[in-house]
Chains A and B, each alone.
Chain A
């Protein structure tokens, strides 16, 4: 178990370093930042001054190590636009995004696992077809489209929920549904496939042979084995949701990290974008690690050698 943990942690660290290099290089490669920072109408001298002020004139590798070293101490630099530390900007907005992500994940799991189980119990039944349709729709419809549809129906027509801005819990419901729905199809299909396979297995037959009730057989003996691959998938989907939050937060005007990323991209506020990419990547990597731990708990074959 300790070996497994160390291996996973080392892997996570390696991924984090790689991601930080990529996010660093991507932004540097996307154009001359000094020009963007200087803004329109800046003279060649202005740009050169900025280049020196921000240290863009030094070798890339030096810049990377400086940036990464600072990042490790919690300093992600200054926002060019807001003129405040990036960490502060992100820190203020992180609770909104994390809350949204968590709620979206809960929604996705709460919808897709029961549907997947129900579909597996009665393949080709009405519930199976229905869940297939839900999956197809979820995969086919762009998330902004679905978000707008939600707004129209639940916000404008029925007036159930606020359509924009931050506030109480009710402001998070529609964005969470829009974001979570996107992850539903994959989780549901994998749950269904896993359950169908597990229900055919010999140990389920043993469980029946013991005289266990349907609930025990399904939820104690079958589901636990069937969700093992689903856990890793859910972690991946959570990562997609974090990137999806850029669109969703913008549409619903939720002042989260995604929204910040969106406005910073528009303003070429590269330190902020870079900081966000790094933060979201680290969160995603941590989620994957948590998923690994959860799987180790579910599956003793991982945990006990």
Chain B
């Protein structure tokens, strides 16, 4: 069982210079995604999910700094890779769908131009072949009158349609991995369900690996193979979806799940449970468990940085409670 994961992230760190010092937005995130697998990343706003995905794609803002023990796509390290090598991967073998469909398309070019460009950049195909592929994909993502849409400009489309176009664009080269960063957050609730449903279907049909960042626990329950729960720049718990839903170990995960504990019974559109309190400042480094301020189970032992405790194959928790249980076992 030593398959090379399509995406390997080990101890990823992202920091940004800010007024009060250095903002450590991502502080040691690790996960693997195997071919065809779906990893869902959940966690409240500001915990570093977007920066994690941008760091993987090499799309961080220029002033951000990225470090990692390992960051590899299909066994190839992304860290030492030349800009050219990275360009060859991006949009071809790995693609990204962003949180902001309204602004992610270039207002100056037609939908068709932007779709076709994605294929023409990576493949030696004629314009008419690229056009045919664009039409086929627009149809596949549920856009009617696809041929006419090609000549339209982004400002002529609704947010939901634009996100469908973004999804079609990500699929143009038939990628092996798609990172979708809250692809429905900016959309109406009814459209949200449609788009997520579409993503699931496409994923099943095409067998691609998916990293889905979402707030929608219903979706997580339905499609995630594995789940990573993030809090304040760290992964606080990972495991299979079944493990996370039926046996959450971290107090934060439990807080999130408190209103919807059973997988399969949650409906799409249901959101993360709210945990009282505020996220700690991400400036500087933690001297205690990042969740301590809000944790109902906090104790003396939590007053130091907490490491991940492995609880078995692909399962880990960042909490002293797990440490002691493990010691007791």
Contact = CB atoms under 8 A, between A and B. Distances in A.
Interface string A217-259: 0000100110000000000000000000000000000000000
B100 A211 contact: no
Interface of A: 200-203, 205-214, 216, 221, 224-225, 298-301, 304
A301 B153 contact: yes
Interface string B5-29: 0000000000000000000000000
Contact of A212 (B104, B109, B121, B155): B121
B297 interface: no
B91 A301 contact: no
Interface stretch (B82-90, B196-204, B243-251, B304-312): B82-90
Nearest to A123: B62
A208 B122 contact: no
22 contacts: A202-B98, A202-B100, A203-B103, A203-B107, A205-B59, A206-B166, A209-B57, A209-B95, A209-B96, A211-B87, A211-B91, A212-B87, A212-B91, A214-B83, A216-B121, A224-B108, A225-B107, A298-B108, A301-B107, A301-B153, A301-B155, A304-B155
Nearest to B106: A203
Contacts of A210: 90-91, 95, 117-118, 121, 169
Contacts of A221: 106, 108-109
Contacts of A208: 59, 90
A225 B118 contact: no
Given A212-B117, A221-B108, A225-B108, 19 more contacts: A202-B103, A203-B103, A203-B106, A205-B104, A208-B90, A209-B90, A209-B91, A210-B117, A210-B118, A210-B121, A211-B91, A211-B122, A213-B87, A214-B83, A216-B121, A225-B107, A300-B107, A300-B110, A300-B153
Interface size class of B (residues with CB under 8 A): 20 to 34
Given A211-B87, A212-B87, A304-B156, A206 B106 contact: yes
Given A202-B98, A304-B153, A209 B106 contact: no
A241 to B, nearest CB: 28
A162 to B, nearest CB: 44
B193 interface: no
Contacts of B87: 211-213
Contacts of A224: 108
A211 B121 contact: yes
Contacts of B110: 300
A300 B108 contact: yes
Contacts of B61: 200
A206 B107 contact: no
B37 interface: no
Contact of B92 (A203, A211, A299): A211
B105 interface: yes
A205 B107 contact: no
B106 A299 contact: no
Contacts of A203: 103-107
A209 B117 contact: no
B80 to A, nearest CB: 18
Contacts of B166: 206
Nearest to A205: B59
A176 B110 CA distance: 38
A238 to B, nearest CB: 24
A299 B83 CA distance: 31
Nearest to A301: B155
A210 B175 CA distance: 11
A202 B100 CA distance: 8
A298 B87 CA distance: 27
A201 B117 contact: no
Contacts of A213: 87
Contacts of B96: 209
Nearest to A221: B106
A301 B92 CA distance: 30
A207 B106 contact: yes
